[in-house]
Amino acid sequence: MFSSSQKLVWRNVAILVAFACMIAGKIMITKVDYQSNPDYVTMNVQVNNETEGSTVDVSGNLFMDVAQGVFVNIELDSKMDGEYMTMIGTSKELCSKEDTGMDPVVPLLNEELEKFGNLTFNCPFEKGYYQIRKFRMSNDHMLVKMVPTGEYIVKMDLQHQQTNATDKVQVFKLSFYFEIS
């Protein structure tokens, strides 16, 4: 069974994958780097490059329930003049009851994620098995139309801070390198 931390990890992996895949009409993923903390989660990420673009399969086991203290950093970098520069980034404590604002992208992305598996953005995260299969965003999706052609990296860093702890523990890091054409 998965703990809340593990479910949270998988949910965040799904968010990152979905974000990477929703950015453009034809996305070709060229490289994926990821590291996971085996005390929280085991995971597997597979890229399927097809004629229409890339799809992504993500599966994993979350080993504990997580309902609080989950911090995520997400960054979108664009390649300009041979170097990657951060275009947008966000840091957020997920499942925080104090956070009353909602990023408008999250509901749209969550709706898409649920079509491809059991990963969602809904807290709490319960231990267990999570997966998405052949995830991709359609070319006519509003979020896809907003990003120009080019080379990009989507980076996600997820950490957990247990109750009464002062330090955060790295749960996973995930980076998708991709081209939009």
The domain tally of the chain equals 1
Does residue 4 lie in a domain region?
Answer: no
Domain that holds residue 36: 26-180
pLDDT tens digits along 118-166: 877 667 889 999 998 998 866 666 666 677 889 999 888 889 998 899 9
- Cα 129 to chain center, whole Å? 16
CATH code, 106? 2.70.220
Does residue 128 lie in a domain region?
Answer: yes
Does residue 6 lie in a domain region?
Answer: no
Does residue 30 lie in a domain region?
Answer: yes
Does residue 2 lie in a domain region?
Answer: no
Does residue 50 lie in a domain region?
Answer: yes
E-strand stretches of the chain: 27-36, 41-50, 53-62, 70-80, 83-94, 128-135, 150-160, 169-180
Residue 177: Cβ within 10 Å count: 19
Which of the residue ranges 10-14, 129-133, 166-170 would you say has the lowest mean pLDDT? 10-14
Does residue 163 lie in a domain region?
Answer: yes
Q: Look up residue 148 and give its amino acid.
A: P
- Percent of the chain beyond pLDDT 90? 28
Does residue 16 lie in a domain region?
Answer: no
Per-residue tokens: 39: 């005390």
State residue 90's pLDDT score.
78
Residue bearing the bigger pLDDT, 16 or 55: 55
83 Cβ contact partners less than 8 Å away, ≥ 6 residues apart: none
Mean pLDDT of the chain: 79
Compute CA distances 146 → 23, 82, 114, 149, whole Å: 7, 22, 22, 10
